Structure 1
Amino acid sequence: MKHLVHRTIPRRLAAVASAAVVAGATAAGGVLGVGVPSAAASNSTTATPIKHVVVIFGENVSFDHYFGTYPNAANTPGETLQGSNVPAAKFTPSADTPKNINTLASAGLLAPNNPNTVQPARLSPFQAVTCDQDHGYTAEQKAYNGGLMDQFVQYTSRDACGTNQFGRPGLTMDYYDGNTVTGLWNYAQHYAMSDNHFSTTFGPSTPGALNLVSGQTHGVKEFTAAGQPVTPTASDYTVRQPDATGTGTVINDPDPVYDDCSNSSHKSTNNLAGMTGKNIGDLLNAKGVSWGWFQGGFAPTTQASGTTPAACLASHTNAAGASVVDYSPHHQPFQYYASTANPHHLAPASTAEIGHNGQANHQYDLTAFDSVVNTNNLPAVSFLKAGEYQDGHAAYSDPVDEQHFITKTINTIEKSPNWKDTAVVVAYDDSDGWYDHVAAQVKNASNTADDAAWCQQAAAKGTPIAGGYQDRCGPGPRQPLIVVSPFSKQNFVDHTQTDQASILRFIEDNWSTGRVGDASADATAGSLSAMFNFHHERRDQVLLNEENGSVAAVLHGNNGHGGHHHR
């Protein structure tokens, strides 16, 4: 958990980012600061009927951690949700739920048959806030043990932690079921999910966020806390495998250099990271397609003034009663790039600017999304990141708080006029080190001291190292992926292998932006298309109870606006 302090971005770096904002506005035909898009910025030509993509990007969940026994829940009497004592929902699956889902249960790897040294155990709805696990690039590879998937306890389990956080020996093995993550199980029942979706690479949040928006973790440069360039060493935290120019790969969670709110009180002198190359924001700007990243706590609690940087200290209380600062800089991928950063966290000059070029440069607080979701100014592409207490990250968040955010957000979208041509994608940045029994064969190898046998052996056998860039080994651990849309298949489980860059590729293909280039993972990412049926638009939608995730109402006719049935 980070407690943010003021940090001054030098005028030179802030000017670089500001110049990129102006250049982007000019290239796209926008009017900087006015917030009125040009005709080019209203480009709505798409390859599919989807005109709006909303990506809800959560934190730190493996597939088995949330779906290990899907679709069968314990339904233990008397259980309540942590933080509220609200009765946990019971879960009864539909009779037509697919049978061939690759879960812990279907693989026969529940107790007592798991090869790890501790057997998997169910976490109850009252054990929502748990210890955070080790989700380092190297630790996750070591847990794989060459594909045997039997050393998670040794390498990723963290079993004891702070007050009001549940822990036990071998905690990494544990899982929730449909009595806790009821909302996600219900979305899977009524829309489409994948059981073969992975991190693009191994490692924690920052690599996952960068892979979502660029398919690329290479291209990082290092700066001091004061924003001055640094020549990194080979063992540096911020830059791994640096070349002669100091450019290398990021495998950890350094904060972004183009962000006033980077660094925390106990790491106030940490070096910072800046990315070179392109991201999806650059591609969308070039096509005149509206987009935005919306994050909880992005609105500053203290505005930038002169040489005084903005501060981002808004907080909320999680299910365990702990106060959690909302904004995490290293969860905000666009702040690593000068071209798409909003260093001083400036608000849009007007509601009309949201999604378009202007002083906020497409980076917003979550409240900005709320202001446009029911209007014709909803951006074509929206990335949503909850405040930390609701992002699902173990230790400071949890599945109960996360469920409140996801269900409220999707309910709002489903009831909006934009629902008819929207696809909501629920995905995650990393696995947190939680156990998952499935290992995808390495597509992109690496062979450095940061890599374990799983990736080194792949390199030795000739698996390519894309671009020659080391420390990008992947795919990494398996994660949940759900698509909620009028065009998503119903109660469907996709077995196509995909990864975080598959979401990037879907956006690229839908708006014909072209690829990121420079060995980005978008070029080889699997397709999400099997999760959709673009020949048949559904005439129903399912609204969930925002407290416990149970089905609250089913709307029928004209995409749900013609009638309703309550359950």
Structure 2
Amino acid sequence: MAWKTRRMRRSLPALSFLLFAALSDTASAAQAAPADRRLSQIDTVVVIYAENRSFDSLYGRFPGADGLDHAPASTLRQRDRDGSLLPELPPIWGGLTGRGVTPVVTQDMTAHLPNAPFQVDAAEGFNVPDSLRTRDLWHRFYQNRMQIDGGNNDGFVAWGNAGAMPMGNWAGAGMKMWSIARRYTLADHFFMGAFGGSFLNHLWLICACAPVYPDAANSPAKDLIARTTPDGKALALAANSPRSALEGPPKFVHDGNLTPDGYAVNTMQPPYRPSWNPAPEGMDAAFSDPSAPTTLPPQKDTTIGEQLTQAGISWAWYAGAWNDALKRGLKPSPPEFQPHHQPFNYYAAYAPGTAARSAHLRDGGMDGVTFLADIDAGRLPQVSFYKPQGNLDQHPGYANITSGDAHLATLIEHLEHSPQWPHMFVIVTYDENGGLWDHVAPPKGDRWGPGTRIPALLISPFVKKGHVEHTPYDTTSIQRFLNRRFSLTPLRGLVDRDAAIAAHGQRPLGDLTETLLPAP
């Protein structure tokens, strides 16, 4: 298959990298003390986790960023499944706008687009306002690896289900969060921690690990095991798959949620409510049906939560509409609560009835009102994670850009006026790219990632103002920041990721302290 034959050259020869690393180590040692003096002034860390947007799709035109205007022409074109350049983009299969959305942009209206990125909200183009939902795309583990194609990023159309749609982007300048990014720091080389979708990337945020389904081949989930190519890096293509992306989406022998060796990489349901898998009759209603194929058994790995607790650091995961989901169940109408966006709910340490669950898993309230109340009252714990409810998280398909953008901006406004603001550090980022293309190659890492580039904003009295930070980061950089600020021991996944990055001769991933102002 053509995607396997092309490999991106290393950005630095090995000798140059070793020299760079030595100089970096010297510089890092000199800068450590000032950075740590700044860090010691930060008492409250807030992580806000939005949904499914690549960097280029929202911030590709941001001034000073490594965006679309800086992309080499060779990175803008997509290849077909045989490795040849596509003469044009295929139509957007099923149309551009989501179900029930007016105006409708049909599949036929998207035919014969040039092989290049296109602006969804351009007046001279489709003129679809950011307040409308556009269609969802595949954002799955193996597909993301195939789309990245070793760093060429030229397989997003060939190995997606939405034709041209991965190449869509939005102007961005009208977003409220653009204005906030102009006042603080925008990181333009921040990558999702794991390949694929929300499920794996949420768990990566707190654990830097891939969840395990024990003895998967003999379990209720045995039919969810994917069929892959012999090297395990891609899905096996079905004999009746269209040869060209111009003819339709690819077909695979068997796409699944589990790897052949039993890791869960695509969406599984948590073992505890809220979950799409309710308890069977006669079982504790707080638990999901363990016999359902998509119920993931409770996970036992250590998370950042236990590390913070052991260090005496207060923390909480605020989930928008959590209590509503527990009371009403999961409804297809707003707020579109997503159980697989609640990572601690997969871990035995936070099972129903445990003290840890009561202490750390909190309802963020409808529209985030409970989280906002804690912000305004100055009662946030030392570390807070906040997950917006579905209709406010910007996920294509069931959410739009405008509503989520307004919600994020409201959160920042309240945080800036919080009694805790003078000693606060806020990270706003996205779980993953949602299947949307980006032109920057992710660092070469390990089996699990990093994946596609995503937006990240660093907001604090202590960060550089009006700054674009080019240091390479991924989702694990959030843990690196917490580790450094609170003197925590890195989880095994971070150690493995760093070793893999170094083995590929890549620049080390940063810990976000690079965005801090020089210490006085």
* TM-score for the superposition, normalised by structure 1: 0.63
Show the counterpart of 2:95: none
Q: Report the counterpart of residue 166 of structure 2 in structure 1.
A: 172
Pairing of 1:485-504 with structure 2 (within 5 A):
485-504=460-479
* Alignment match, 1:120: 117
Structure 1 equivalent of residue 483 of structure 2: 508
Farther-moved stretch of structure 1 (412-421 vs 231-240): 231-240
Query: What is the Cα deviation at residue 121 of structure 1?
Result: 1.4
User: Which residue of the partner structure matches residue 340 of structure 1?
Assistant: 350
User: Which has the higher mean CA deviation after the structures are superposed, 106-115 or 149-158?
Assistant: 106-115
2:56 maps to what in 1?
64
Q: How does 1:410-421 map to 2 (within 5 A)?
A: 410-421=412-423
* Match of residue 145, structure 1, among 141, 146, 149: 149
Identity, % of aligned pairs?
27
2:511 and 2:476 map into 1 onto residues whose CA distance is: 10
Is the 1:194–1:496 Cα contact (8 Å) retained in structure 2? yes
TM-superposed CA distance for 1:275, in Å, is 1.9
Which aligned pairs between 1:231-242 and structure 2 lie closer than 5 A? Answer: 232=222, 235=225, 237-242=256-261
Q: After the TM superposition, which residues 479-558 of structure 1 pair with which residues of structure 2 at under 5 Å, given as runs?
A: 479-517=454-492, 525-533=509-517, 535=519
Is the partner of 1:129 in helix, strand or coil?
Answer: coil
The correspondence for 1:405, drawn from 382, 404, 407, is 407
**Cα distance, 1:284 vs structure 2:** 0.7
Q: Equivalent residues in 2 for 1:270-285 (5 A)?
A: 270-273=293-296, 274-285=298-309
Distance apart, 1:490 and its partner CA: 0.9
User: Aligned equivalents of 2:180 and 2:213: distance in 1?
Assistant: 37
| 1:49 alignment counterpart | 41
In the other structure, the counterpart of 2:106 is: none
- Tell me, in whole angstroms, the C-alpha distance in 2 between the residues paired with 1:212 and 1:533: 25
Report the secondary structure of 1:154's partner residue.
Answer: coil
| CA deviations over 1:212-263 (Å, ceiling 9, x no partner) | 1111114444899xxx975757826454243xxxxx4221010111334343
1:194 positional shift: 1.0
- Among residues 241, 265, 273, which one is paired with 1:259 in the alignment? 273
2:270 maps to a residue whose letter is: P
Deviation at 1:419?
A: 0.6
Whole-Å separation in 2 of the counterparts to 1:313 and 1:234? 23
1:438 is displaced (CA, Å) by 1.0
TM-aligned CA deviation for residue 179 of structure 1: 4.0
Judge conservation of contact 2:193–2:476 (CA < 8 Å) in 1: yes
User: Could you tell me whether the CA contact under 8 Å between 2:212 and 2:263 is conserved in 1?
Assistant: yes
Aligned to 2:329: 312
Find the residue that maps to 2:277 and give its secondary structure: coil
Distance in 2, Cα, partners of 1:440 & 1:214? 20
Q: Render the CA deviation track for 1:330-358: whole Å, top value 9, x for unaligned.
A: 011101111134x48x9xxxxxxxxxx66
Q: Give the match's secondary structure for 1:496.
A: coil
2:139, 2:176 → 1: CA distance?
Answer: 25
- Secondary structure of 1:406's match? helix
Cα distance in 2 for residues equivalent to 1:62 and 1:481 = 10
| Matching residue of 1:107 | 71
Question: Which of 329, 332, 343 is the matching residue for 2:339?
Answer: 329
How much does 1:111 deviate?
12
1:372 aligns with 2:374: yes
Give me the TM-score of the superposition, normalised by structure 2: 0.68
Distance 1:277-1:66 versus aligned 2 partners, 3 A rule:
same
Partner SS, residue 504 of structure 1 = helix
Q: CA–CA distance in 2 between the matches of 1:171 and 1:393?
A: 14
1:369 is displaced (CA, Å) by 2.2
Structure 1: 5+ residue stretches without partners: 1-44, 72-97, 159-168, 243-247, 304-310, 316-322, 347-356, 447-471, 537-567
Gaps of at least 5 residues in structure 2 are 1-36, 79-84, 90-114, 122-127, 227-255, 280-287, 500-508
SS in 1 for 2:199: helix
Mapped contact 1:299–1:312 kept (Cα < 8 A): no
Residue 208 of structure 1 is matched in structure 2 by 201
Residue by residue over 1:432-465, the C-alpha shift from the partner in whole angstroms, topping out at 9 and shown as x without a partner, is 1101011123121x4xxxxxxxxxxxxxxxxxxx
Number of residue equivalences: 391
Q: 1:409 to 1:339 in 2, by over 3 A?
A: same
Which position in structure 2 is the counterpart of 1:439? 441
Structure with more of its chain in helix, by fraction = 2
RMSD: 3.2
